[in-house]
């Protein structure tokens, strides 16, 4: 059984943390694929490519392609399973709760599709702008899947067949709408969609440009500042609408076989 990591990374000062954690990541993942936004820092790209011979860098034409590009390129590794994870969330998880991360990775290798959500304690670290808007998108996707799920924690596992089906039946460009689109498509196609919740996917944005994962006090301060900006609420409403829209479209559109 082999496992690839597919991750989308919009760099915000995480390179040193990634390099420090790379030995642990390399022990768990047989291949690593990192997608980056257009025109990334050449020094960062070179550092990534030199860090591990099993690491592939995918530079996207548009950042809305990030998740799709990472999953698509991970399929080229021939691994049996793929763990998709948002880069910043993954780093925090590995730093703060490595045993939970490793247990989850093991569970991914036993599933067609494993949605990894957040426990109430993990969710409580997030700004209200995320909590209140994601309550809507999570409720809609939960209805479509027939059970309560949190789909927006930035972590999902796929068998090779399930990942190939997603790529064959979707187009890049929906960015965070994939949270609703991918699991709905897979369940409709007959793949089993399982769900677990973890503590390690607590709010990651307070970690930006820091040497290590932020402590709870720093998280609370950053969350308060995030909620104080009306533009962040507007952005999170748009994200929730995109997830709902993509999930609803996926629930009715024609699908190709597998």
167 domain-assigned: yes
Amino acid 1: pLDDT? 82
In a domain, 258, yes or no: no
In degrees, rounded to 5, the angle at the alpha carbon of residue 140 between the alpha carbons of residues 137 and 141 is 85
Residue range 87-109: mean pLDDT, rounded: 98
Rounded Cα gap, residues 44 and 50, in angstroms: 10
Residue 255 lies in a domain: no
Distance CA 171, CA 120 (A): 33
Q: Is 28 exposed, middle or buried (0-12, 13-18, 19+ CB in 10 A)?
A: middle
Which pLDDT score is estimated for 256? Answer: 72
CA 124 from centre of chain? 19
- Tell me the pLDDT tens digit for each residue of 45-80: 999 999 998 999 999 999 999 999 999 999 999 999
Residue 23 is part of a domain; what is its CATH number?
A: 3.90.550.10
Which tokens belong to 115?
A: 């949605």
Contact 162, 83 (CB under 8 A): no
In a domain, 227, yes or no: yes
Q: What is the mean pLDDT of residues 6-17?
A: 96
| Residue 227 pLDDT class (50, 70, 90 cuts) | very high
Q: Rg of the chain's alpha carbons, rounded to an integer?
A: 17
pLDDT tens digits, 141-197: 999 999 999 999 999 999 999 999 999 999 999 899 999 999 999 999 999 999 999
Partners of 195 in the beta sheet? 115
Report yes or no on 144 lying in a domain. Answer: yes
- Rounded Cα gap, residues 139 and 162, in angstroms: 24
In a domain, 256, yes or no: no
* DSSP state letter for 127: -
pTM of the model: 0.95
Q: Which two tokens stand for residue 79?
A: 């691994």
Of 177, 201, 178, give the one whose Cα is nearest residue 123: 201
* Number of structural domains the chain divides into: 1
Q: At 4, is the secondary structure helix, strand, or coil?
A: strand
The helix/strand/coil state of 116 is strand
- In angstroms, rounded to a whole number, what is the distance separating the alpha carbons of residues 59 and 46? 12
pLDDT at 205 over 80: yes
Q: 148 lies in which domain range? A: 3-250
| Domain-located, residue 257 | no
């Amino acid at each position: 059984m082999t496992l690839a990591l597919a991750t989308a990374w919009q760099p915000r000062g995480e390179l040193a943390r990634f390099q420090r954690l790379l030995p642990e990541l390399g022990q768990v993942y047989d291949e690593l694929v990192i997608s980056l936004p257009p025109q990334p820092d050449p020094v960062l790209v070179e550092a990534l490519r030199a860090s591990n011979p099993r690491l592939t860098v995918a530079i996207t034409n548009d950042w809305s392609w990030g998740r799709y590009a990472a999953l698509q390129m991970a399929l080229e590794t021939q691994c049996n399973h793929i763990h998709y994870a948002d880069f910043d969330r993954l780093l925090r998880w590995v730093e703060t709760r490595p045993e939970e991360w490793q247990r989850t990775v093991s569970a991914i290798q036993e599933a067609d599709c494993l949605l990894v959500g957040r426990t109430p304690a993990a969710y409580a670290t997030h700004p209200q702008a995320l909590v209140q808007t994601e309550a809507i998108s999570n409720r809609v996707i939960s209805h479509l899947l027939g059970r309560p799920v949190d789909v927006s924690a930035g972590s999902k596992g796929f068998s090779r067949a399930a990942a190939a089906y997603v790529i064959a039946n979707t187009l890049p460009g929906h960015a965070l709408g994939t949270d609703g689109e991918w699991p709905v498509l897979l369940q409709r196609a007959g793949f089993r969609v399982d769900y677990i919740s973890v503590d390690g996917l607590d709010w990651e944005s307070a970690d930006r440009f820091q040497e290590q994962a932020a402590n709870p006090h720093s998280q609370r301060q950053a969350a308060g500042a995030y909620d104080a900006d009306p533009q962040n609420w507007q952005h999170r409403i748009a994200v929730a609408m995109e997830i709902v829209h993509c999930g609803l479209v996926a629930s009715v559109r024609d699908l190709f076989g597998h």
